[in-house]
Structure formats: C-alpha cells, structure tokens
Amino acid sequence: MIRLRKLAQAASLFTTPLAPEDFLALLNPIHSTRQLRGVVTRVEAETADSATIHFRPGRGWKAHEAGQWARIGVELDGVRHWRSYSLSAAAGEDPAITVTAVGAVSEALVRDTRPGDVLFLAPPQGDFTLPEHPRPLLMLTAGSGITPVMSMIRTLVPRRRDADVVLIHSARTPESSLFREELAELADQFPNLRLIQRFTATDGRLDLSTPAAVEAICPDWRQRAAYACGPDGFVGAAEALWQAEANGAGLSIERFDTTFAGGAGQDGGVVTFELSDREVEAPGDVPLMEVGEDAGLLVPSGCRMGICHSCLIPLRSGQVRDLRSGEVHGEPGELIQTCVSAAAGPVSLGL
C-alpha cells in the first residue's frame, strides 16, 4: 500500500497537473479515489414501480451497517443529480438499493438502469441502525420506508435465533408492497419474525393517533426498541405517539421525504455565492442548495432534507427561511442547512 502510494507520487511527476488516476481511468471507469463510483451488477424489478439495483463499489466505499443509507449520483441528460437511498441488502453483503419511482431521479434509476452502468456514490452513513445489544424490536414501515428495515431483517432474522422482531408494514395494495413474498417466506421459516402486512387500499391506514391499534397487534410494544420509516406524515404520527406515551424514548425514525410548506407563497431574493462569484435570483420556496446547483456550483449535500448536516454553508449576510417551519433566521457567520433553507430577501453565502 505504502509502495503503491510512492509509485503514484512518482507517476504524478509525469502527469501533473492531472493525477495518475486520471489516465488509469481511461482503462477502468470506476478507478477514482476522488469520485467514488460503483458498477451496476444486477437490476431486479420488485413491483411495477420499483427495482433493486445491486452494485459493486470502487475503492473508498465502506461496508454498510443494516439500516444505513448512501448518496447516489445519477446523470440525467448530462447533469449530475444526487439523492439518498437506503441500502436494502443485508450487512456484510454487496450493497443494493431499492428505489421506488416517484420523480425524475428515481424514475431514471428504476427504468433506465442496466448492468454495467456507473453510479456515483458516497460512503454509507446514518444512525438508523440496529441497537447495540439484542433487544426485542418493533418495526413500523410504510411504502418504500421498508427498505432500511428490510436490510435489518435480512441481517438479523436468518442469522440470529434470539432475535425477536415484529414488523407492521403498510402498503397500498399487495401488488405495490415491496418484498412481500420474501417477507412472508422469512416469517414462515423463522419464528423470530412476526409479520403484519397491511394494505391500506382495503384495510385503511394504521391509526397511530392513539396506542390502541399498535397495542392490539403488539401488546408489549412499550418494551421494544421501535423503528419507524416511511412518508413524512406516517413518521410524524409515530413520533407523536411515542412522544405522548413514552416521552419520545425508544423510537428511532428515518424520513424519506419532508414537507416544504414553510416557503409557499414567500418572496425570495438575490442570492450571492461569494467565493464562486455568482449571483442568482431565487424564489422564496426553493432550497438554496438547488439554487446553487442550478447555477452550476458544486454544493455540498447529503440527505437533502435537513437531517444530516452535510450541507452547512456559512451565511455572510441576509436571512433565510426554514422551509419546514417557515421560520426566518440568520446571523452573519451562522452555518445554515442549504437543503432546507430558502432566501428571505437578499442573501450572501460563503460558497
């Protein structure tokens, strides 16, 4: 390894200002230490609108923990877009994501991905992961929110006889329910998994406004480490329930989307990206991250929904609006989350 680095250093004398890897990339497209990439190895259709994409990551990737997510970069018409996807494969196995088509990027991933395609990647992150010590678990999932939990179940259920997992999964219909057969088989085969599938088109939604419904399915729910993942409304309801009943303790959540209602109908302003020397007129309901990206800047990003803080940029002047709450804030020097902040009047950023 050390010798390799020496060799690379020597080689860079010949390649400066490029790096030796820029030339090696002529032969192997995923050979880059600057930009982590993966090659798609397999694509499996899950439902009419979703697919699981298996990939072999290049150097720099870290094996994921069950429940973690990774940023995936895709090129749509020549432009790089980044989105977060939970890794649905069991820990210890080659990574895979399971994507449901709901918009431009997910649509392209589900419909147009073929083995051999190159995905841009960032190493897995996130702390929506299994508890450190064995505990009975309760999983509440809805829609595509099953993906990180699927990784946990695949990791745990077949390999740990002492596991005790109750999964309540909601999907609209059986046809649109992800991993339906695999889950049923696992529940059949392993007594440590109890599966409650709920199809909201016929059964109605799981009522989380009171403990009654959860209690009826899982009487010892209070003793379990609970996980909730799904659309914003679903996760919010679970959060409120645990807040009311258990002071918020014992529940881990993961959100896949968030409502940006706070910026609706608000005025924006001119955004100045000081270090990049760019000025852009921005509406009051568009995250500064998107404003910068549309101007061609490389804006640091992560989850794109206000949970990971990978996107902090110092505010130089002006104020921003939090798109989740509508709150206007900002002091010079304050680090702001560009993915959930929009311009509230003229804004200057240290980017």
Ligand X SMILES: Cc1cc2nc3c(=O)[nH]c(=O)nc-3n(C[C@H](O)[C@H](O)[C@H](O)COP(=O)(O)OP(=O)(O)OC[C@H]3O[C@@H](n4cnc5c(N)ncnc54)[C@H](O)[C@@H]3O)c2cc1C
Could you give the angle at the alpha carbon of 301 between the alpha carbons of 300 and 306, nearest 5°?
130
Q: Which is nearer to ligand FES, 12 or 310 (CB)?
A: 310
- 296 contributes a contact to other proteins by CB under 8 A: yes
Beta 50-57 vs 278-282: how paired, if at all? unpaired
> What's the closest the beta carbon of residue 120 comes to ligand X, in angstroms?
14
Which of 134, 174, 248, 332 is the binder for other proteins (CB under 8 A)?
A: 134
Coil, strand, or helix at residue 120?
strand
Span of 98-106, 167-175, 199-207, 276-284 interacting with other proteins by CB under 8 A: 276-284
Tell me the HSE value of 92 on the side-chain side, using a 13 A CA sphere: 5
CB 107 within 8 A of CB 101: yes
Q: Which is nearer to ligand X, 245 or 290 (CB)?
A: 290
- 147 contributes a contact to ligand X by CB under 6 A: yes
Span of 20-28, 97-105, 158-166, 169-177 interacting with ligand X by CB under 6 A: 97-105
Residues in contact with ligand FES by the rule CB under 6 A: 301-304, 306-311, 337, 339
Which of 256, 262, 291, 313 is the binder for ligand X (CB under 6 A)?
A: 256
Q: Which of residues 57-96 bind other proteins (CB under 8 A)?
A: 60, 62-63, 65-66, 68, 71, 75, 77-82, 90-92
Span of 93-101, 131-139, 243-251, 330-338 interacting with ligand X by CB under 6 A: 93-101
Instruction: Kindly give, in sequence order, each residue whose CB lies less than 8 Å from that of residue 86, ignoring residues fewer than 6 positions away.
Output: 67, 68, 69, 97, 98, 147, 148, 151, 229, 254
Which of 103, 115, 131, 248 is the binder for other proteins (CB under 8 A)?
A: 131
Q: Which is nearer to ligand FES, 62 or 309 (CB)?
A: 309
Q: How far is CA 288 from CA 265, 268, 304, in A?
A: 16, 10, 11
Coil, strand, or helix at residue 121?
strand
> What's the closest the beta carbon of residue 5 comes to ligand FES, in angstroms?
32
CB 98 within 8 A of CB 186: no
Residue 127 in tokens: 């702390």
Q: Which is nearer to ligand X, 22 or 107 (CB)?
A: 107
> What's the closest the beta carbon of residue 304 comes to ligand X, in angstroms?
6
- 146 contributes a contact to ligand X by CB under 6 A: no
CB 297 within 8 A of CB 273: yes
Coil, strand, or helix at residue 328?
strand
Span of 46-54, 152-160, 193-201, 207-215 interacting with other proteins by CB under 8 A: 152-160
CA distance 260 to 326: 9
> What's the closest the beta carbon of residue 335 comes to ligand FES, in angstroms?
11
Residue 215 in tokens: 């209690």
Where would I find the H helices in 61-211? Answer: 104-112, 146-156, 180-189, 200-203
Binding site for ligand X (CB under 6 A): 69, 83-86, 98-100, 102-107, 144, 147, 231, 254, 256-257, 303, 305
